[in-house]
Structure 1
Amino acid sequence: MADWSEPLDNYCERTDATFLSEPLNAVTNLAFIIAFVAGWYYYQNYREKGGRKHWEFVLLLGLICTIGVGSFLFHTFATRWALLTDSGPITIFQFVYMGVFCWHMIMPRWWIVPVSWAAFVVVTIILAIPFPADYANGSSGYFSSMFFIALLGGYAYYREGERAYFVLAAAPLFAISIFFRSIDENICDSFSLGTHFVWHTLNGGMLYCLFVGLMKSSIEKESS
């Protein structure tokens, strides 16, 4: 049986099991909270201009905030249970965003959501064959996310043009953040803080781009 309180040492910055052993990794989770606040402000501005309430976008904002809180817990408590608070919201966000995007940007049919989820799972399984879980410092699990962010961004830009710039911009941001996540352990000897904090910082911007870009390309256009 797994010990859920077992300490984990997954990042260069962590040197012991104390609460503040990863100060930079912990504080940079503010990037997600900033993305949440900025996204909420953008959504409220849309509502004040007469836009309809869309609970699916409120859910996405809530998940962005939860990602920041969960990641903070993991980079402070650094235990198995805290790992779940980190990875859980990220996984849920991916599936929810995929479904919301396909519903609004491809077709509003009930079956499009489970089909998009199935496609994501299949691509994740396929990419796990050449890229095992420990590849690129454990970043290979995000390769399927990178693939779909680029795919959705390209499709959104093809369909909506400049309205989709934010979704399109999310792909290079995420690619750069994966790079910095993957080299965290490799540069420990020369830079003791590691580079995982860059992953947090860029991903806050990436999530904001995904959210605002989808709003601009779908519900905001519908209300104009």
Structure 2
Amino acid sequence: MLNTIEKHMNFLERSYFLLLLSLFTSIAEAGALSSLKTFVQDTRTVRATFVQTVLDKNMRVVQRGGGTMQFERPGKFRWVYEKPYEQLIVGDGARIWFYDRDLDQVTVRKLDLAIGTSPAALLAGSSNIEADFDLTEIGSQGDTEWLEAKPRTKEGTFEWVRLGFTPAGGLKAMELHDNFGQTTVLTFSRMEQNPRLSSELFKFTPPEGVDVISD
């Protein structure tokens, strides 16, 4: 039972940071760095589907998942994992709610404390990107242009994030390398930029009877 809970929680923690990473799509402009900067200025809402693959330090697949996401800047999002476990992550602008249906458990964190100098800060436009991250264009692979972001501080949970953009400037893929040697790859599809989203998507009330854990 303990191993099962640890497995679920580890996946939940990875999901949280990847959620913050994937709240973003980009705008058409030449170059990965230009696409990122334009996104920070112009994108307010996004709706998309995603596939997530987690690789160990030997680049072997240890987990696959996927689902849907919506977000509204700043700080509001809804991230739904449909597999391998049913999970819901909601940001209401002040707090982040993590609901694991299998465990019947909700974890709540303050948004500002949870984000910090994180991948969300890289893209959400609430801070000076160059002040918090070293950004490097690392060239093209096939039809994908890649940008690498490394946090200037060592307090986070990841070593680097890479963002892959299409020639038109759309966000195609993300890669996150964490401090435990794992790499998580996200690929996006059916992406809509600036759709009209209901405010109800970003509200969450814990179901009756679930355990609620808060900061």
Which structure has more strand as a fraction of its residues? 2
- TM-score of the alignment, normalized to the shorter chain, above 0.5: no
When normalised by structure 2's length, the TM-score is 0.24
Higher helix share: 1
Structure (1 or 2) with the larger CA radius of gyration: 1
